[in-house]
Amino acid sequence: MMMKYKPNKIRWSFVIFFIPVALWLFLLIVLPHLELLRISFTSSGTNGFTLTNYKAFFTEPIYWLTFVRTALYSMFVTAIVLVISLPVAFYITKVASIKTQGLLMVLILVPFWVSELIRVYGWMILLRESGVLNQFLVKIGVFKQPIELLYNDITMIMGLVYTSMLFMIVPIIGVLGSMDDALIEAAHDLGAKKIAIWKEIIIPYTMPGIMSGSIIVFMLVLGSYLTPKLMGGKNSLWFTEQIYNQIIIYFNWEQGSAFGFLLLLLSSLIIWIALKVTKQEFRKVIK
């Protein structure tokens, strides 16, 4: 498709497009992350290369425990999100009548654009001790007195599921929408059970959507700051809070950089493993 018949003109258009894009990627993506890596190997106390910051991470249990906890919880949240999203996406694309389908799509997409902060705030109003749910439950007699429903791990996980859910549903709908119903009909006519149809046809077909949704949700949850901070308890420290504390509160940029780099390493590693295990390609998953 290249226009080989006008080679000299193509060079010019190439230069015009290439320079701004290269500047963007090198100045705002590559160099800042190299700087992050460089700073993480320095320390305000000593000159030159040092591993102090990484040593601190591995010797202080509070640091690496938070790190491991954040990673495990992020995977757990991604799994829950997937289990909720698959049937919802399937209903909208394959079960709902064509008329309601459009309406449901709009209803799904609108909260997608409402900021995370407002959505978390909504849950805080609902769940806190003086919140709407408590007052309702006391009134109908389920609780004798209001109970603090916020500030614990379960609520935090629910909040993380809530704020990231739509990023799973939308890519899955994208893939399922293009799936030919005849595939399912044929399997049904040949006597396949529902579980078999899901396992043999729907899940394999939806895999690219599942993977891109899982990657986005995992990244969002892992890098989330607002939801764990506002909905989690004193013991639900998230690794991003550790980074924030180092950079903003202790002003220890070197330590914060090391933490940031470790988080980046972890997320890349987990995504890479997930892609390898499911035999998907990064470039095909992220279209």
Partner 1 sequence: MIRTLPNSKTYLAGYKFFIFIFFLFLFAPLVITMILAFNDSMFPSLPWKGFTLDWFFGDGPDKVGLFHDKINLRGIATSFKTAVAVSFFSTIIGTMAAFLFEQEDFKFKGALYFLMIAPLVIPGVILGISILLFSNALGIFLEDTLGIYFKFLTPSFWLVVIGQFSFITTIVTMIISARLRKFDRTLEEAAFNLGANKFEVVWFITLKFLRPSLVGGAAIAFLMSFENFNTTLFLIGSQSTLPINLYQQVRDGSTPVINAISFILILTTSIIAVANLYRGKKEI
DSSP classification of residue 236: -
* Angle (CA) 9 10 12, round 5°: 70
Question: Is residue 1 a contact point for partner 1 (CB under 8 A)?
Answer: yes
User: Which residues between 150 and 169 bind partner 1 (CB under 8 A)?
Assistant: 162, 165
Task: Sort 35 into a burial class: Cβ within 10 Å, 0-12 / 13-18 / 19+.
Answer: exposed
Question: Is residue 36 a contact point for partner 1 (CB under 8 A)?
Answer: yes
Question: Is residue 275 a contact point for partner 1 (CB under 8 A)?
Answer: no
Q: How many residues bind partner 1 (CB under 8 A)?
A: 98
User: Which residues between 79 and 108 bind partner 1 (CB under 8 A)?
Assistant: 84, 87-88, 91, 94-97, 104-108
User: Which residues between 213 and 272 bind partner 1 (CB under 8 A)?
Assistant: 215-216, 219, 222-226, 229-230, 240, 243-244, 247-248, 253, 256-257, 260, 263-264, 267-268, 271
User: Which residues between 6 and 25 bind partner 1 (CB under 8 A)?
Assistant: 6, 9-10, 12-14, 16-18, 20-22, 24-25
**284, containing H or E segment:** helix 282-285
The CB-of-207 to partner 1 minimum distance in angstroms stands at 18
* 51, 79, 109, 147: which one binds partner 1 (CB under 8 A): 109
Is residue 32 within 8 Å of 253, Cβ to Cβ?
no
Decide whether 77 or 184 has the Cβ nearer to partner 1: 184
Q: Which tokens in the block code for residue 30? A: 């590559």
User: Which residues between 116 and 155 bind partner 1 (CB under 8 A)?
Assistant: 116-126, 128, 130-132, 135-136
Cα–chain-centroid distance for residue 172? 15
The CB-of-14 to partner 1 minimum distance in angstroms stands at 5
* Angle (CA) 218 221 226, round 5°: 165
Query: Binding mask 178-197 vs partner 1 (x if CB under 8 A, - otherwise)?
Result: ---x--xx--x-----x--x
Decide whether 65 or 286 has the Cβ nearer to partner 1: 286
Question: Which residues make Cβ contacts (< 8 Å) with residue 186, sequence separation at least 6?
Answer: none
The CB-of-49 to partner 1 minimum distance in angstroms stands at 17
Query: H helices within 178-238, ranges in order?
Result: 181-189, 194-197, 203-222, 226-231
User: Which residues between 52 and 81 bind partner 1 (CB under 8 A)?
Assistant: none
DSSP classification of residue 27: I
DSSP classification of residue 250: S
Question: Is residue 51 a contact point for partner 1 (CB under 8 A)?
Answer: no
Decide whether 144 or 287 has the Cβ nearer to partner 1: 287
Query: H helices within 223-252, ranges in order?
Result: 226-231, 239-244
Q: Name residue, tokens 């998953």.
A: 285
CA distance 134 to 145: 8
Decide whether 5 or 61 has the Cβ nearer to partner 1: 5
Decide whether 76 or 244 has the Cβ nearer to partner 1: 244
